């Protein structure tokens, strides 16, 4: 049997779903000759590590107990029955991860899986990567900080996977990577990469008011608790940056032009979420209604997309033909159109659910299995 030891950073919605997937896929993996051994799990405050990392990972019952405690809102260091594990905090936690990478690096190998939502994991990821470990991310932040940090991580291209950072489980990164490897030059990528904004923009076509749509989206649970986190475009800009960097462009988040759907005077510094929803939002209705009408006269629709073309990445509203893949989008799917020499007139289109703990965690698990040849 091939053993893949992993340390999981972050035990939120995605991290816990990953642990569930690992447990429920045991028999499928067994048939493929693979065992995933979870040797460590961390949250924002502490890290749990199995005593004997060389032999055993954590037991499935113990992993289930961790998930149970975390979903009940307890921190990892709450009085779990630690069994064959030890708890580390702060600097010791980082040292323990690095020590594990050093000792497993030369034998079985180690995968460090970042399912946190933190920008602070970048240093430990760079460190373990330089020691020969694999790095797998659902977390976009380490890939969207300074270009130098990105390059240090991506330099070990055979050992890093981050499919779930763009379009969750959809094979966006894999498709771009395949085109690059085949020497097919990519000239343009256009993506609707937010389920929330995909829904909002397609609903606008039916003549509904923007404010009504956003309020409805919030009550359907489609938005972040503060919908401005979706409407700012920042999350899409991070995804666009990852795609642009994948194309080899040395750009930073600050180089991306982002059109926010609300003006700064309605921002979180000036207005509460409640006031924004109740009063701010409806000020935006009229202008958007006009833009929808103008586009419609030309056979176009409005989409909130990231456009990657000519060494520039822009995020915001674009007019796109009604009969394109993006134009036909309804509801909360993600859609990405990739144009290259081979896909010049008719782009390569990837479409489907682009968020959710389940699909995101499944994408992470597939990334782990994809690296199996690097393990003993």
Ligand X SMILES: *[C@@H]1O[C@H](CO)[C@@H](O)[C@H](O)[C@H]1NC(C)=O
Ligand Y SMILES: NC(=O)c1ccc[n+]([C@@H]2O[C@H](COP(=O)([O-])OP(=O)(O)OC[C@H]3O[C@@H](n4cnc5c(N)ncnc54)[C@H](OP(=O)(O)O)[C@@H]3O)[C@@H](O)[C@H]2O)c1
- Give me the active site residues, please: 239
Q: How far is the CB of 10 from ligand Y (least distance, A)?
A: 3
349 touches 337 (CB < 8 A): yes
Judged by CB under 6 A, does residue 129 bind ligand X?
Answer: no
Judged by CB under 6 A, does residue 13 bind ligand X?
Answer: yes
Judged by CB under 6 A, does residue 331 bind ligand X?
Answer: no
Q: Which CB sits closer to ligand X, 13 or 352?
A: 13
What is d(CA 264, CA 145) in angstroms, rounded to the nearest whole number?
24
Judged by CB under 6 A, does residue 352 bind ligand X?
Answer: no
Please count the CA atoms within 13 angstroms of the CA of 275 that sit on its side-chain side. 8
Output the CA torsion 321→322→326→329 (10° steps). Answer: 170
Q: How far is the CB of 222 from ligand X (least distance, A)?
A: 9
| Residues touching ligand Y, count (CB under 6 A) | 28
Choosing from 144, 164, 192, 357, the residue that interacts with ligand X (CB under 6 A) is 357
Instruction: From 110, 118, 104, select the one nearest 14 (Cα to Cα).
Output: 118
244 touches 180 (CB < 8 A): no
Helix (H) / strand (E) element for 99: namely helix 90-105
Q: Beta-carbon neighbour count of residue 214 at 10 Å? A: 28
Burial class (CB in 10 A: 0-12, 13-18, 19+), 111: buried
Q: How far is the CB of 12 from ligand Y (least distance, A)?
A: 2
Q: How far is the CB of 359 from ligand Y (least distance, A)?
A: 7
11 labelled ligand-binding: yes
Q: Which does 44 bind (CB under 5 to 8 A by kind): ligand Y, ligand X, none?
A: ligand Y
**Residues in contact with ligand Y, shown as a per-residue x/- string from 328 to 357 under the rule CB under 6 A:** ---------------------------xxx
Q: Which CB sits closer to ligand Y, 48 or 138?
A: 138
Helix (H) / strand (E) element for 39: namely strand 34-42
Q: Which does 15 bind (CB under 5 to 8 A by kind): ligand Y, ligand X, none?
A: ligand Y
- Contacts to ligand X from residues 52-71, by CB under 6 A: 71
What is d(CA 178, CA 249) in angstroms, rounded to the nearest whole number?
17
Output the CA torsion 199→205→209→211 (10° steps). Answer: 20
What is d(CA 251, CA 243) in angstroms, rounded to the nearest whole number?
11
Q: Which does 71 bind (CB under 5 to 8 A by kind): ligand Y, ligand X, none?
A: ligand X
The residue with its CB nearest to ligand X is: 13
- Please, which residues have CB within 8 angstroms of residue 183's CB and are 6 or more apart in sequence? none
Please tell me whether residue 334 adopts helix, strand or coil conformation.
strand
Q: How far is the CB of 115 from ligand Y (least distance, A)?
A: 5
13 labelled ligand-binding: yes
Tokens of 173: 């990164």
Judged by CB under 6 A, does residue 140 bind ligand Y?
Answer: yes
Q: Which CB sits closer to ligand X, 100 or 357?
A: 357
129 touches 156 (CB < 8 A): yes
What is d(CA 41, CA 338) in angstroms, rounded to the nearest whole number?
37
Judged by CB under 6 A, does residue 356 bind ligand X?
Answer: yes
Judged by CB under 6 A, does residue 118 bind ligand Y?
Answer: yes
Choosing from 45, 257, 298, 341, the residue that interacts with ligand Y (CB under 6 A) is 45
Q: Which residues are annotated as a binding site for NADPH?
A: 140
> Footprint of ligand X on this chain (CB under 6 A)?
13, 71, 356-357
> Footprint of ligand Y on this chain (CB under 6 A)?
9-15, 42-45, 75, 115-118, 120-121, 138-140, 164-165, 168, 355-357, 360
């Amino acid at each position: 049997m091939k053993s893949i030891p992993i340390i999981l950073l972050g035990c939120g919605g995605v991290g816990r779903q990953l642990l569930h997937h690992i447990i429920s896929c045991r028999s499928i993996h067994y048939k493929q000759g693979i065992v995933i051994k979870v040797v460590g799990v961390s949250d924002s405050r502490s890290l749990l590590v199995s005593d004997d990392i060389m032999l055993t990972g954590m037991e499935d019952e113990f992993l289930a107990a961790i998930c149970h405690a975390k979903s009940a809102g307890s921190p990892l260091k709450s009085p779990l029955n630690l069994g064959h594990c030890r708890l580390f905090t702060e600097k010791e936690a980082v040292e323990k991860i690095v020590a594990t990478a050093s000792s497993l690096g030369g034998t079985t190998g180690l995968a460090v899986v970042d399912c946190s939502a933190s920008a602070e994991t970048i240093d430990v990821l760079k460190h373990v990567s330089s020691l020969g470990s694999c790095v797998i991310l659902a977390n976009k932040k380490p890939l969207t900080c300074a270009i130098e940090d990105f390059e240090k991580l991506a330099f070990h291209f055979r050992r890093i996977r981050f499919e779930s950072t763009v379009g969750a489980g959809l094979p966006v990164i894999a498709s771009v990577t395949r085109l690059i490897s085949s020497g097919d030059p990519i000239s343009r990528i256009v993506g609707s990469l937010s389920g929330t904004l995909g829904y909002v923009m397609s609903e606008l076509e039916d003549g509904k008011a923007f404010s009504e749509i956003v309020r409805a989206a919030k009550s359907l649970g489609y938005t972040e608790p503060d919908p401005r986190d979706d409407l700012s475009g920042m999350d899409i800009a991070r995804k666009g940056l990852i795609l642009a960097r994948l194309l080899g462009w040395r750009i930073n988040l600050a180089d991306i032009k982002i059109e926010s759907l609300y003006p700064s005077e309605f921002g979180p510094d000036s207005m509460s979420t409640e006031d924004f929803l109740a009063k701010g939002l409806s000020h935006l209705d009229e202008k958007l209604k006009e833009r929808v009408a103008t586009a419609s006269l030309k056979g176009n629709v409005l989409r909130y997309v990231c456009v990657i073309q000519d060494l520039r990445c822009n995020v915001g509203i674009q007019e796109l033909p009604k009969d394109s893949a993006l134009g036909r989008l309804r509801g909360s799917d993600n859609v990405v159109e990739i144009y290259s020499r081979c896909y010049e007139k008719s782009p390569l289109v990837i479409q489907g659910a682009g968020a959710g703990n389940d699909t995101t965690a499944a994408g992470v698990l597939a990334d782990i299995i994809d690296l199996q040849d690097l393990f003993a």
